[in-house]
C-alpha cells in the first residue's frame, strides 16, 4: 500500500509518462512492418501505457484511472489507424484488463486504508487510555506521597504528646499540629466537656479571635450527641442542620471537619477546624483529624489523671483543702520568704465546737458534710495567696501570708462570726455551727514553724476552755 504522501508523486509520474508516450507515438515516424520486432515495440508501448494507467488508479483514484485508460486507448487506436494496422481492437483489450486490475487494486487499497484508519483510531484510543492511566497513576502516586508526608508528621505529634502533662499545653499542641498536618488555612477550636454541667466549654483556639461560641454551636453539639466525626462541605446545603441554626455560622465559615475526643469510651471533648470556603476539606483530612484526636484524647486523659494525682497529693479528697505534708513544706518556704523581706505572717488553727455531737446525732456522714461546709466557707473568706489545710480530724489551719497579729485577729473574727451566723441545713434540720480559733504570729510569737503551731494550738485549747466560739 502506497503511503499517502507518495500518491501525488506517482500520479504526476503517471501523467508525465502518458504524455511522453503520446509524444513518442506521434513524433517518431513509425512504419507498419508485420515483423516480430515491430510487434514487440507495440506490446512494449501498450505495456508502458498500462503501467501508467495502473499508477493513475493507485495514486489518483478511480476518476483519474478511467480518464488515463480512455486517453491511452484512444492514443493506441489512432496510432493503429494511422499505421493501418488491422485488428487494433486486440490492442485495446489490455487497457480494459489493466483498468479492471486497477479498479480491483483501488478497492483493495481503499479497504486497506479503512483498516489502517480503524487500527490507527484504535491505537490512538489505546494510547489515550494508557496516557490517562499514566496520569491517574501519577496523580495517585502524588496523592500517596502527600499522604505519606502528612502521616509522617504524626510521629512528631506522638512524641510531643508523650512529653506534655498539661491539659492546656496539650490542647494548644493539638490545634497547632492539626492545622500544620492537614496543611489548610482555617480556624481551629477545642472544647472540653464540663463533667458537672455536661456541656462543652472552649479550652483553646487558633485563628479565632473574638469567638463567641464559648459552649460550642450546633455542629459541636451534634458531634457530642452522636459521638462520631462530622464533615460539612457546605453549611448552607447540608440538610442535617436547619437554616435557623446556621444563620450566624454561615457568615463565619462554610465548611468544617470535627471529631470527638474519646478516652475510655467517654467523650472528653471536641476538636474542629472550619474554613470560610466551601468544600475546603476531604475525607483524608477528616481521617487525619481523627488520628490526631485519638492521640490527643489519650494524652489529655493522661494529663487529667496526672493533674488529679498531683491534686490528691496536695489536697484532701473530702474538703478540697491542702493536705498537712504539703502545708508544712509551704509553711517553711513562707517563713524563709518572710524573713528575707522582714515581713510578718500569722498562723491560725480552728476547731469545730462539739463536733462529736453531729456524728452521734446524725451519723458519721453528717460529720463529713459539716467538714465540707466549713471548708467551703473558709475558702470563700480567705484572701488570695493564703493557704488553708485540713490539719487534723475536724481541725482546719490557715496560713495568713503578709499579715501581722492584729490583721489575723480581725480576719479570724470575721470567719468565726460568718460560720456562726450562716445557716446550715443538715438532714432537713437547721444546725448551728461554731468554731474556736487560736492564732500565732511571726516574728512576734516565734520564728520557727513548729513553735508557731504549738503556740496557736495552745491558744485554741484556751479558747475552748473559755467557753468555745472564741478567738484567742
Mean pLDDT, the chain, integer: 80
Catalytic residues: 394
Query: Does residue 300 form part of some domain?
Result: yes
Query: Does residue 271 form part of some domain?
Result: yes
Q: Measured between alpha carbons, how far is 398 from 386 in angstroms, rounded to an integer? A: 7
Domain end point (choices 272, 289, 313):
313
Q: Are residues 210 and 294 in the same domain?
A: yes
pLDDT in tens, 166-207: 888 888 888 988 888 888 888 999 999 987 778 899 998 888
Query: Does residue 147 form part of some domain?
Result: no
Domain end point (choices 249, 279, 313):
313
Q: Measured between alpha carbons, how far is 387 from 290 in angstroms, rounded to an integer? A: 43
Inter-residue contact 147 to 284 (CB < 8 Å):
yes
Question: Which of 315, 314, 335, 323 is closest to 450 using CA atoms?
Answer: 335
Q: Are residues 253 and 365 in the same domain?
A: no
Cell triple for residue 324?
498537712
pLDDT band at 7 (very low <50, low <70, confident <90, very high): low
Q: Are residues 356 and 375 in the same domain?
A: yes
Q: Residue 220's pLDDT is what?
A: 92
Q: How many whole angstroms from its chain centre is CA 97?
A: 80
Q: Residue 165's pLDDT is what?
A: 76
Q: Are residues 308 and 355 in the same domain?
A: no
Query: Does residue 155 form part of some domain?
Result: no
Inter-residue contact 254 to 225 (CB < 8 Å):
no
Q: How many whole angstroms from its chain centre is CA 338?
A: 53
Query: Does residue 357 form part of some domain?
Result: yes
- Lowest average pLDDT, out of 250-254, 264-268, 390-394, goes to 390-394
| Domain total in the chain | 3
Beta strands in 146-305 (DSSP E): 187-194, 199-206, 230-232, 255-263, 266-275
Query: Does residue 160 form part of some domain?
Result: no
- Residue 33: is its pLDDT beyond 70? no
Q: Are residues 267 and 236 in the same domain?
A: yes
For 391, the domain range is 324-465
Length of the chain: 472
Q: Are residues 15 and 106 in the same domain?
A: yes
Q: Are residues 328 and 296 in the same domain?
A: no
- Inter-CA distances, 306 with 164, 205, 293, 388, Å: 11, 23, 19, 23
Burial of 465 (0-12, 13-18, 19+ CB in 10 A): exposed
Q: Are residues 336 and 308 in the same domain?
A: no
Domain end point (choices 89, 123, 157):
123
- Lowest average pLDDT, out of 35-49, 171-185, 217-231, 277-291, goes to 35-49
Amino acid at each position: 500500500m502506497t503511503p499517502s504522501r507518495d500518491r501525488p508523486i506517482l500520479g504526476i509520474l503517471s501523467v508525465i509518462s502518458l504524455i511522453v508516450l503520446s509524444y513518442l507515438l506521434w513524433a517518431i515516424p513509425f512504419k507498419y512492418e508485420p515483423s516480430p520486432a515491430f510487434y514487440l515495440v507495440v506490446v512494449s508501448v501498450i505495456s508502458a501505457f498500462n503501467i501508467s494507467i495502473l499508477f493513475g488508479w493507485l495514486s489518483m483514484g478511480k476518476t483519474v484511472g478511467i480518464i488515463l485508460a480512455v486517453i491511452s486507448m484512444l492514443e493506441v487506436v489512432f496510432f493503429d489507424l494511422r499505421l493501418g494496422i488491422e485488428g487494433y481492437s486486440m490492442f485495446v483489450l489490455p487497457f480494459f484488463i489493466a483498468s479492471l486490475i486497477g479498479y480491483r487494486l483501488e478497492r483493495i487499497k481503499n479497504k486497506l486504508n479503512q483498516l489502517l484508519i480503524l487500527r490507527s483510531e484504535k491505537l490512538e484510543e489505546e494510547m489515550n487510555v494508557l496516557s490517562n492511566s499514566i496520569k491517574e497513576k501519577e496523580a495517585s502516586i502524588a496523592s500517596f506521597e502527600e499522604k505519606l508526608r502528612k502521616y509522617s508528621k504524626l510521629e512528631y505529634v506522638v512524641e510531643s504528646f508523650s512529653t506534655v502533662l498539661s491539659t492546656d499545653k496539650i490542647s494548644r499542641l493539638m490545634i497547632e499540629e492539626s492545622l500544620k498536618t492537614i496543611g489548610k488555612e482555617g480556624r481551629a477550636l477545642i472544647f472540653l466537656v464540663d463533667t458537672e454541667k455536661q456541656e462543652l466549654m472552649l479550652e483553646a483556639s487558633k485563628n479565632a479571635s473574638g469567638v463567641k461560641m464559648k459552649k460550642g454551636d450546633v455542629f459541636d453539639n451534634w458531634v457530642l450527641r452522636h459521638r462520631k466525626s462530622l464533615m460539612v462541605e457546605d453549611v448552607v446545603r447540608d440538610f442535617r442542620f436547619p437554616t435557623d441554626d446556621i444563620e450566624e455560622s454561615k457568615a463565619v465559615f462554610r465548611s468544617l471537619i470535627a471529631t470527638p475526643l474519646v478516652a475510655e469510651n467517654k467523650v472528653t471533648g471536641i476538636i474542629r477546624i472550619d474554613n470560610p470556603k466551601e468544600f475546603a476539606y476531604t475525607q483524608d483530612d477528616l481521617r487525619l483529624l481523627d488520628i490526631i484526636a485519638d492521640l490527643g484524647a489519650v494524652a489529655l486523659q493522661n494529663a487529667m489523671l496526672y493533674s488529679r494525682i498531683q491534686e490528691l497529693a496536695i489536697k484532701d479528697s473530702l474538703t478540697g483543702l491542702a493536705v498537712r505534708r504539703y502545708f508544712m513544706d509551704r509553711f517553711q518556704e513562707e517563713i524563709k520568704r518572710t524573713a528575707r523581706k522582714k515581713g510578718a505572717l500569722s498562723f491560725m488553727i480552728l476547731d469545730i465546737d462539739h463536733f462529736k455531737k453531729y456524728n452521734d446525732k446524725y451519723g458519721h456522714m453528717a460529720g463529713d458534710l459539716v467538714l465540707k461546709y466549713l471548708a467551703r466557707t473558709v475558702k470563700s473568706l480567705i484572701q488570695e495567696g493564703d493557704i488553708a489545710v485540713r490539719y487534723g480530724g475536724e481541725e482546719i489551719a490557715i496560713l495568713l501570708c503578709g499579715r501581722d497579729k492584729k490583721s489575723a485577729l480581725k480576719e479570724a473574727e470575721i470567719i468565726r462570726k460568718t460560720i456562726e451566723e450562716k445557716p446550715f441545713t443538715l438532714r432537713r434540720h437547721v444546725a448551728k455551727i461554731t468554731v474556736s480559733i487560736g492564732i500565732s504570729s511571726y516574728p512576734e510569737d516565734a520564728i520557727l514553724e513548729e513553735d508557731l503551731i504549738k503556740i496557736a494550738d495552745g491558744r485554741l485549747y484556751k479558747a475552748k476552755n473559755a467557753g468555745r466560739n472564741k478567738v484567742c
